[in-house]
Amino acid sequence: MSTQFVQAVWGGVLFGSVYGLMALGLTLVWGAVRLLNLAHGALFVVGAYAAYWVVSFLHLPILVALPFGVLAAAAFAYLMHIIFIRPVIGKPGFDNSTLVATVGISIAVSAAALLIFNPQYKVVPPVLSGSTIVAGVQITYQGLLVIGTSLALFAIVYAFLTYTRLGMAIRAVSQQTEAASLMSIPVVQTYGIVIAISGGLAGLAGVLLSPSFFLSPNSGFNPMIQALIVTIFGGLGSVRGALVAGFVLGVFESFVEVFYGVGWAQPGVFILIILMLIVRPNGLFGIGEVKRL
């Protein structure tokens, strides 16, 4: 097996896990709240910087910083829900307001990160360091951790949604909001929970990924764009769609990059998604649009 091929596969699986992780939160929120959260990248940044702060200023190990980052991002997301999303739920201007509000929050978070920490790239220590060589390709242990965590999280989230009372409530709210409230499910409260969970997921992605890509105030933007692409490709609101699409796009991008060069990766993905939107606008596993509140 050629080194290039292995490199492409490794890159693809790694990218795929990363994209999937980012997309998972985004798709959950869309499914439940019908909210396009353009502050998702900001949550990534909040998680990463929170972990960095714990490591650099509190001098605690990364294993402590990691859950801290996740919780910080989840809390921030919940706060965002309370202040900026809850007030406009059910109102006709919801889409406009939340679009602008999440963009504004995104910018504000970037700026705050810039002011609190400086613009220089920060180094967030990996949870696992070191690597090994397989078929001539460097396989980092942190990379394996990312892949493992991503797959584990998908499994956990899937189980949560399928078998737990709260998870089923979230699915119910996503599919038929009025009926859900008739089942005595507190819909708005459920929204808040989903948003907090998605924040936590984004924060986790932030903490795990930052060691591989240097952390700066604008680090959240690209992962969010990728997440958006994956979410749409996989089907808005579909968890398994996010997983599959993440890997499909990750592998595709990796192969294009390895065999055709970096410059073609983005346009390649762009073309792929346009094709998908033409052939099958709902994405891989998208269901038709269902009634919202």
Partner 1 sequence: MSVGGVVTAAPSRPEVDYAAAPWQRVPIYVIGGTVVAGILLPLVLTRISIGDYLITLLILFFMQAVVAQSWNLIMGYGGIYSFAQVALFAVGGWTTAVLAHSLGWNPFIAMLFAPVVALLAAVGIGLPTLRLRGVYVVLLTLAFHELARVFAVTGPRFISGGGYGLVSVPTFQFGNVIGQQRTIYLYYLAMVIFVIATFVIWRVIHSPLGVAVTALRDSETYGVSRGINQFRIRLILFAISAFFTGLAGGYMTHYNGGISTSVFDFSRLIDLLAMIVIGGWGTFAGPILGAAIIIGLDQYLVAIGDYRALFEGLILAVIAVFAPQGLWPVIRKTYDKYLGPEQQPAPAPASAAAHAETRNEDLK
Partner 2 sequence: MLEVKGLVAGYAGSEVLQGIDLVVHDREGVIVLGPNGHGKTTLLRAITGLLPPSAGQVLLNGKDITRWRPDVIAAAGVVHIPQGDLLFPEMTVLENLVMGAYNRATWSERNVRLGHVYELFPWLKERGGQLARTLSGGERRMLALGRGLMSKAQILLIDEPSLGLAPLTTQQIYASIQTVKESGMSLLLADENANHVAGLADRVYLLETGMLVREGPADELLRDKALLESYLG
Contact residues toward partner 2 (CB under 8 A) are 165, 168-169, 171-172, 175-176, 178-187, 287, 290
Q: CA-to-CA distance for 50 and 199, rounded, in angstroms? A: 13
Element spanning 274, H or E? helix 265-279
Q: How many CA atoms lie within 13 A of 8 on its CB side?
A: 20
Q: Pick the stretch among 1-9, 91-99, 142-150, 203-211 that binds partner 1 (CB under 8 A).
A: 91-99
Taking CB within 5 to 8 Å according to partner kind, which of partner 2, partner 1, none is near residue 168?
partner 2
Pick from 225, 272, 284, 293 the residue near partner 1 by CB under 8 A. 225
Pick from 97, 131, 176, 181 the residue near partner 1 by CB under 8 A. 97
Q: x/- string (CB under 8 A) for partner 1, residues 1-30? A: -----------------------------x
Q: Choose among 1, 19, 3, 2: nearest CA to 251.
A: 19
Q: CA-to-CA distance for 164 and 92, rounded, in angstroms? A: 32
**Are the C-beta atoms of 224 and 22 separated by less than 8 Å?**
yes
Taking CB within 5 to 8 Å according to partner kind, which of partner 2, partner 1, none is near residue 185?
partner 2
Element spanning 245, H or E? helix 239-260
Q: Pick the stretch among 66-74, 192-200, 242-250, 273-281 that binds partner 1 (CB under 8 A).
A: 273-281
Cβ at position 183, least distance to partner 2 in Å: 5
- Any contact of residue 179 with partner 1 (CB under 8 A)? no
Q: Residue 64 or 271: which CB sits closer to partner 1?
A: 271
Q: Choose among 223, 170, 153: nearest CA to 28.
A: 170
Q: CA-to-CA distance for 235 and 30, rounded, in angstroms? A: 10
Q: CA-to-CA distance for 188 and 191, rounded, in angstroms? A: 5
Helix, coil or strand: residue 138: strand
Distances (CA, A) of 250 to 48, 142, 217, 246, 258: 22, 17, 24, 6, 12
Q: Residue 168 or 251: which CB sits closer to partner 2?
A: 168
Q: Pick the stretch among 44-52, 186-194, 201-209, 228-236 that binds partner 1 (CB under 8 A).
A: 228-236
- Any contact of residue 236 with partner 1 (CB under 8 A)? yes
Q: x/- string (CB under 8 A) for partner 1, residues 38-77? A: x---------------------------------------
Pick from 82, 155, 274, 290 the residue near partner 1 by CB under 8 A. 274
Q: Residue 182 or 278: which CB sits closer to partner 1?
A: 278
Q: Pick the stretch among 59-67, 82-90, 182-190, 238-246 that binds partner 1 (CB under 8 A).
A: 82-90
**Are the C-beta atoms of 247 and 20 separated by less than 8 Å?**
yes
Beta-bridge mates of residue 139: 132
Helix, coil or strand: residue 133: strand
Element spanning 190, H or E? helix 187-209
Binding site for partner 1 (CB under 8 A): 30, 36, 38, 83-84, 87-88, 93, 95-112, 114-115, 221, 225, 228-229, 232, 236, 263, 266-267, 270, 273-274, 277-278, 281
